[in-house]
Structures are given as C-alpha cells and as structure tokens.
Homo-oligomer: A and B are copies of this chain.
Amino acid sequence: MSLVVTGTIGIDTVQTPSGEKREGILGGSCAYFSAAAQHHGKVNMVAAVGDDFPDEHRAVLNSLSNLDQTGLEVRKGSKTFRWGGKYHENMDHRDTTFTDLNVLEEGPPKVPESYRDSRYVFLANGHPAVQLGMLEQFPDCTLSVADTMDLWIDIARADLDILIGKVDGLVLNFDEAEQLTGHKNTVSAAKHILEMGPRFVVVKKGEHGCLFVCRDESGIGIGALPAFPAEHVVDPTGAGDSFAGGMMGYLAHAADESKPFDIDTLKVALAHGTVMASFTIETFSLDRLASLTPAELAERFDEFSTMLRVH
C-alpha cells in the first residue's frame, strides 16, 4: 500500500562522546524515515530543501531504490534546514548546539497530485498545525501516525491536542509522554494519550526499547519490546525516525491487510522498527541504512525474534 512521509531533510553537525565530529552530513526526520521504510517498499517523500542542498546528499537519496522524490521541493534562494547536536556520555541525551530553520520557516512543501491517494501517512515531528494541514491532503488515508516533541507540547498544545484526536497512532519519547500527560508511569501515560483519540501509542525509550498500548477489537492491549542490544553506538541521531520508518514500511508493505489492524500487527511492525534503528546507530548519517541489504535485515530480524523467544 502507498506510504507517504512528511518531515525534514537536514544538514547535520553531530558530535559524539568519543570526540568524533561530523559536519554537514545528511540528516532530517524525512531522510532517516525514508531510508528505513524503503527497505520494505515504495515511500513517497514530502519535504523541502534549499538550492544549497549538496549533490552528494542528493546522490544518497537517489541511491535509495524505493524512494519517490517527486515531493522533494528544491527552493531557489532558500537554504536547507541545518541542525547541530552534541551527545552526552551515555548517548541517550543530547544538546542541540544550533538550529537554522531556514526553509522550514517558509510555507510547507506541496503534496504532489500523485501522492494524494497515499493510504499510510507518517507525519514526522513538526508544528502540529502543519502536521494537521498535511494530514488533510491525504483523503484516502487509512492509517496515519504522527511523531511530536517537547517543544510542541510546550508552545502548541491546543493544535497538538487536535492532531492527537485525528491520527490513528502517536509515537513519542517517554519523557514527552510524561510531559504531555503528567503521568510518571509510562503505561499510565500511554493509556492517557489513547483516551485523547488514537488507536495506538508508541513510547520510545531509546536503548531501553519501547512500550506500546493499542485499542483493537479485543480491547486495550499493552506491550513492550527491548532495543536490540548494541555495544558500538556511533551516532544515535535518526534512531527514532528510522524506528518509525521500519514500523510504517512494514505496515504499508508487508503486513497482512486482510485482517483488522491489531496489537499483534503493531508489535511485529515495532520489532521491524527496532531492528532498523539498530542499524542506523552503527554509523553517522544514513550510511548504514543506505548500504543495508535485504539479507542483513532479514538476518537481524531473525536474531531479534529468536532473542525474544522464551517458550
């Protein structure tokens, strides 16, 4: 089924605790999501860059065989979004060293006519009003999922509440789930968000995996998955977006659509997201996601599912 993602393409500068620093590397939620999701099938991308977007980064996107870039606007006279981040020693926290919104401060990118019948819609982190505007442009959407962040909970809560009331799924970090609901307990926080509208909520916990709640025909179910144990984490940037990409790619292209969406389908999708994120963090930028082969992906998924077999 057709899958579309709306979000950012960025030029990142990343510093890791080991002292390594990479400047001007390809990043952004849309880039990480797409590089992950396209391993399961076609992905339509809606994003904007400036005319400073480097050819080498475009070449990486071009190398992603299932990525449709019709919706990638290159704006004359605009500059690409740039972000800098510095990771703390435990890799689970980072400081933003700079943010140049650039093209993100202009109007949102246009959705190509050819994308309008997209059935699976992922709204990567952004102002919830913009996410809502995007969602409205996919009238045939059967499964919409949004990501969000602490900033929007702080400054755009009313719009965010409307968005949460309209999407099928919300993914967010565990501290954001607490911030949004006031619940310290992650299960309580996720269930609280479920009451705000969505059919499922996925709470991302970084190296600790994820927790999810889902309302389906059998009621409200709760689940948790660990992260794939990683010893050599080079750069955690994009882990959350590629997690979402692995999840949505599976749902749109691999899940059995003949049966109603339920917590078991979501769980398998999240396992695919977990495996995808485990590759992302092995290198800077999209390097590992871009080089990843179907055999490597299948092997690690098998390793992960075997690791979780306790019966």
A-side interface residues toward B, CB under 8 Å? Answer: 17, 89-91, 184-188, 191, 205, 207-209, 211, 222-231, 233, 267-268, 271, 302, 304-305, 307-311
Contacts and interface: CB of A to CB of B under 8 A. Distances in A.
Number of copies: 2
A187 B224 contact: no
Contacts of A223: 229, 307
A226 B205 CA distance: 11
Nearest to A224: B226
Highest count of chain B CB atoms <10 Å: which of A90, A271, A308: A308
A15 to B, nearest CB: 16
Contacts of A304: 310
B231 A191 contact: yes
Contacts of A231: 185, 187-188, 191, 222
Contacts of A230: 185, 187
The list of the 9 closest CB pairs from A to B, nearest first, reads A208-B208, A224-B226, A271-B310, A305-B311, A187-B231, A308-B308, A222-B229, A305-B310, A90-B184
B209 A226 contact: yes
A219 to B, nearest CB: 14
A184 B236 CA distance: 15
A219 B29 CA distance: 38
Given A184-B89, A187-B230, A230-B187, A267 B225 contact: no
Contacts of A233: 185
Given A205-B208, A310-B305, A184 B91 contact: yes
Highest count of chain B CB atoms <10 Å: which of A211, A231, A233: A231
17 contacts: A17-B184, A90-B184, A186-B207, A186-B229, A187-B230, A187-B231, A205-B208, A211-B226, A211-B229, A222-B229, A222-B231, A223-B229, A267-B310, A304-B310, A308-B308, A309-B309, A309-B311
Contact of A308 (B17, B191, B310): B310
A233 B184 CA distance: 11
Contacts of A188: 231
